[in-house]
Structure formats: C-alpha cells, structure tokens
Amino acid sequence: MTFLDLVELLFIKGCLEAGVSWPKVREAASTAARLLGADQHPFALKRWFVDPAGIYLMLGEQERDQSLVEVAGDAQVAMKEALAPYLRQLDFDMHGLAQRWFPMGTTEPVLVDPRRSFGAPIVQEGGVRTDILAGMYHAGDSVPTVASWFEVEEHEVWAAIRYEEGRAA
C-alpha cells in the first residue's frame, strides 16, 4: 500500500463517518476518474467536499474558473466541515496532492511522510520511528533517557508513546 492509498482510505473513512453511503463513494470515485482523466489517486487531492447527501469535487485551477461539481448524491449544498478534520491532518503540495499526514493533528510532532523512514510514523524533528521510541520506554527506560539516546525532545517521546498506544487500542 502506498502513502496515497492510505490518504484515500482516510478520505473514504471520513465520507463514511459523515454519513455518505458506500455506493455514493464508489460513484464519486468513478466520476472523479472520468473528470480528472488518468489521475490514479483522486481522493488524495485537496479538492473535495462532503455532506451526508453527496460528494463534491472542486474543478478548475484558477479560483475565478473553479466550480463545485456533484459527483455522487442529490444535495444542493456542500458542507466543507465534514472533511475538515481529515484535511487538517494533511499537508498538500502546490498541486493539491497530499504529501504528509499528521495522524494526531498538526499540533503533535508525529507524522507519516513517504519520503522519510520508508513512510513509517516518525517524530517530526528527530525523524525517529515512533515504535522505537515507545518500545524503549515500555522496555523500562525513562522518557529523559530515551530522548537523550535518540537526540529528540521529551515531548516527541511522549507523543510517540501516545501514538503507539492509540494504535494498539
């Protein structure tokens, strides 16, 4: 599975949590493929709006030329808030394609970047994998000791521990 596959799964999860049905998600994927051409990961673009009644895609590169196109459902109004939590966890490149994911939100130092550590979750500044930091702590080492060994901040170790404990739940 690639990073963009993961981002698309997050989008689909957000749609389902917003009350959109599986058939509407499939319809949106099919319509987006047709509208966007050969794009292999349309749900990884920062062009989507969702509400329980439909899925919408923003088309057009320049703001003055943009239009909101319904790609699944029957609603008239798109609610950007449905995907706001999903969009706040992602960094997008200049073309609007997802490039990094902050699974705990951008205020926490844990990130998934396919260009760093082969896409494994890491702490942002130190670049150390979260499973390694949390594993050292759970093996009995103190947070200050782990931070010192890996030359990361203590708050990064604590974030790695919270992240890994959340994954295990």
Q: What is the pLDDT along the chain (169 residues), one digit of tens a residue?
A: 888 888 889 888 888 887 888 888 888 888 877 777 656 788 888 777 666 666 777 666 654 455 666 676 543 344 455 556 666 788 888 777 788 999 998 899 999 999 999 999 999 999 999 999 999 999 999 999 999 999 999 999 999 999 999 987 7
Q: Please list the residues that pair with 49 across neighbouring strands.
A: 56
Domain count, the chain: 2
Please report whether residue 104 resides in a domain. Answer: no
**Any domain includes 105:** no
Specify the pLDDT at position 77: 40
Q: Does residue 90 sit in the same domain as residue 122?
A: no
pTM (whole model) above 0.75: no
In eight-state DSSP terms, residue 25 is H
Do 122 and 93 reside in the same domain of the chain?
no
**CA pair distance 116, 118, nearest whole angstrom:** 5
